[in-house]
C-alpha cells in the first residue's frame, strides 16, 4: 500500500478522535463552562449537523481545486477548528468551533476516499478505502480513551491541543506524500451537479442512510443495555466498547477485501448478518458472555459494509466522484441521527431496551431491500481510472 494511504489513515484518526472524544469529556466540559450535561451533549449534535450540512457545500466549494489542494485546505480548517476549541472561553464559542471543525469532516472523507482509490490498482480500491477508514475505527479504539484520559488528567482543553498537533503532522504528511495535482482532477460545478441524476445513485445513498440507522439504533443505546439488562459495571462497559471497537476495525478490513470481489454480495451478506445478529442480541443480552460475543460479531458485520458503501456510490456517480463520495459521508450522519431517533422512540413507547436490537434488525432489512433495488437498476459503468 502506498504511503499516502497511511497519511490518509492518520488524518482519519485525528478527525475521528475529535468527533467522538467529546463524549468522554462531557462532564469536564459541562463543569468548566457552567452548563448542564444535556446542554454539553448538544456539542455532539452540533458536530453531526455540521458534517451533514457542510459536506455537500464544502465539496462544491472545493470542486475547482485539485484533490490534493482540497485535502490540504480541509485539514487546515480542521487544525483551526481544534485550535479554537482549545481556546474557547465559553460554551457558545466552543459550539461555533465544533461546527467549524465539522465542516471539513464530510468533504475530507469523501475526497480522501477518492484519492485512496486512485493510488492503487482497480481491484484494490475497496481495500484502499478500508485502510483509510481504519483510522476512523482506531480513533474509537485508541484515540477516544487516550484523549479522554488526557483531558481528565490535564483538563479537557489539553485534548484539543493534542489533536491540533496531530492535525499539523497529518497536514505535513499530506503535503509531502500525496500525488501531485493533475489538471484533470479539477471539475466544473455544473457537471458535478448534473451527475447527481439517476435512481441508482440515490438508492445507493438511501442504502447508506439505512445502514447507518441500523448501526446507530443499537450503538447509541448499547451502554444502557449493558448496564440495565446485562448487568455490566461502568468499567465493564468501557471494556466492552473497546471490544466493539476492535470488531469494527476487523470488520472494516474484511469488508474491504470482500468488496473488492463483489460489491453486491458483500452488502447483501452484511445486511443479512446485521439483521440476524441484532435480533439474536435481544435474547442473548441477559447473559454476560453471550452478550460480549454477540456484540463483537455485530461490530464485525456492521463495519464490513463501510468500504463497499463508499465505493458503491462512486460506481453510480463516477462522473462526480468528489461530490457523491462526500454526499455519502453526509448520508452516514443522517443515518446516525435517524437510528438514534428510532431507538429513542422504541424506549419512549415503553417497549424496553431489549426491543432496541429488534428495531435495528428491521432497519438492516430495509437496507437489504434498498441494496437489492439499487443493483436492480442499470448496471453502472465501470469507474474510470481516478489517477
pLDDT digits (tens, 9 = 90+) for 357-371: 999 999 999 999 999
Q: What is the mean pLDDT of residues 222-231?
A: 85
CB-CB contact of 201 with 317 (8 Å): yes
Name the residue with higher pLDDT: 104 or 125. 104
> 3-186 and 193-375: same fold?
yes
pLDDT of 384: 43
Residue 381: its pLDDT value, please? 47
Enter the C-alpha cell of residue 111.
475526497
Give the span between the Cα atoms of 238 and 232, in whole angstroms: 10
- Residue 352, sorted as left (phi over 0), alpha (psi -120 to 50) or beta, turns out to be left
Average pLDDT, the chain: 84
Look up residue 198 and give its DSSP letter.
S
Q: Is the pLDDT of residue 93 over 50?
A: yes
Judge whether residue 138 has pLDDT over 90: no
Q: What is the 3-state composition of the chain as percent helix, strand, coil, each rounded to the nearest 5?
A: 85, 0, 15
Q: Architecture of 193-375 per CATH?
A: Up-down Bundle (1.20)
186 pLDDT more than 70: no
Q: How many residues does the structure list for the chain?
A: 387
List, in order, residues 6 or more apart from 186 with CB less than 8 Å away.
63, 64, 65, 66
pLDDT cut 90: percent of the chain above it: 34
The rounded distance, in Å, linking the Cα atoms of 101 and 331 is 18
* Whether pLDDT at 182 is above 60: no
Domain spans of the chain, in order of start: 3-186, 193-375
Q: Quick one: CATH architecture of 3-186?
A: Up-down Bundle (1.20)
Residue 183, pLDDT score: 47
Give the pLDDT mean for 337-360: 87
The 3-state secondary structure of 275-315 reads HHHHHHHHHHCCCHHHHHHHHHHHHHHHHCCHHHHHHHHHH
Residue 244's pLDDT band (boundaries 50, 70, 90)? Answer: confident
Report yes or no: 367 and 210 within 8 Å, Cβ to Cβ.
yes
H or E element, residue 324: helix 321-348
Work out the average pLDDT over 135-147: 81
Amino acid at each position: 500500500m502506498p504511503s499516502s494511504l497511511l497519511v490518509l489513515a492518520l488524518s482519519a484518526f485525528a478527525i475521528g478522535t475529535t468527533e467522538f472524544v467529546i463524549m468522554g469529556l462531557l462532564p469536564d466540559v459541562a463543569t468548566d463552562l457552567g452548563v448542564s450535561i444535556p446542554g454539553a451533549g448538544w456539542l455532539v449534535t452540533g458536530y453531526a449537523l455540521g458534517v451533514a450540512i457542510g459536506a455537500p457545500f464544502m465539496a462544491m466549494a472545493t470542486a475547482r481545486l485539485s484533490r490534493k489542494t482540497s485535502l490540504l485546505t480541509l485539514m487546515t480548517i480542521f487544525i483551526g477548528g481544534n485550535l479554537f476549541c482549545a481556546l474557547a472561553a465559553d460554551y457558545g464559542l466552543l459550539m461555533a468551533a465544533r461546527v467549524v471543525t465539522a465542516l471539513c469532516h464530510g468533504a475530507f472523507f469523501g475526497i480522501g476516499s477518492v484519492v485512496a482509490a486512485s493510488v492503487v490498482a482497480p481491484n484494490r480500491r475497496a481495500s484502499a478505502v478500508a485502510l483509510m477508514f481504519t483510522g476512523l475505527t482506531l480513533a474509537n479504539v485508541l484515540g477516544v480513551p487516550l484523549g479522554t484520559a488526557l483531558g481528565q488528567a490535564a483538563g479537557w482543553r489539553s485534548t484539543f491541543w493534542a489533536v491540533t498537533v496531530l492535525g499539523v503532522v497529518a497536514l505535513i504528511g499530506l503535503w509531502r506524500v500525496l500525488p501531485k495535482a493533475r489538471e484533470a482532477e479539477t471539475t466544473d460545478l455544473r457537471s458535478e451537479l448534473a451527475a447527481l441524476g439517476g435512481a441508482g445513485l440515490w438508492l445507493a445513498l438511501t442504502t447508506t442512510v439505512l445502514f447507518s440507522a441500523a448501526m446507530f439504533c443499537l450503538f447509541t443505546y448499547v451502554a444502557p443495555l449493558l448496564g440495565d439488562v446485562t448487568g455490566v459495571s461502568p468499567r465493564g462497559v468501557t471494556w466492552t466498547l473497546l471490544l466493539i471497537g476492535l470488531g469494527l476495525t476487523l470488520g472494516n478490513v474484511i469488508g474491504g477485501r470482500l468488496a473488492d470481489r463483489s460489491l453486491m454480495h458483500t452488502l447483501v451478506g452484511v445486511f443479512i448478518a446485521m439483521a440476524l445478529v441484532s435480533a439474536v442480541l435481544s435474547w442473548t443480552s441477559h447473559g454476560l458472555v453471550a452478550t460480549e460475543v454477540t456484540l463483537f460479531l455485530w461490530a464485525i458485520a456492521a463495519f464490513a459494509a463501510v468500504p463497499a458503501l463508499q465505493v458503491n456510490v462512486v460506481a453510480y456517480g463516477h462522473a462526480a466522484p468528489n461530490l457523491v463520495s462526500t454526499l455519502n459521508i453526509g448520508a452516514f450522519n443522517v443515518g446516525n441521527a435517524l437510528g438514534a431517533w428510532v431507538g429513542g422512540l422504541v424506549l419512549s413507547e415503553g417497549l424496553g431496551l431489549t426491543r432496541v436490537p429488534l428495531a435495528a434488525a428491521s432497519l438492516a432489512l430495509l437496507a437489504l431491500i434498498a441494496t437489492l433495488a439499487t443493483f436492480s437498476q442499470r448496471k453502472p459503468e465501470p469507474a474510470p481510472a481516478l489517477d
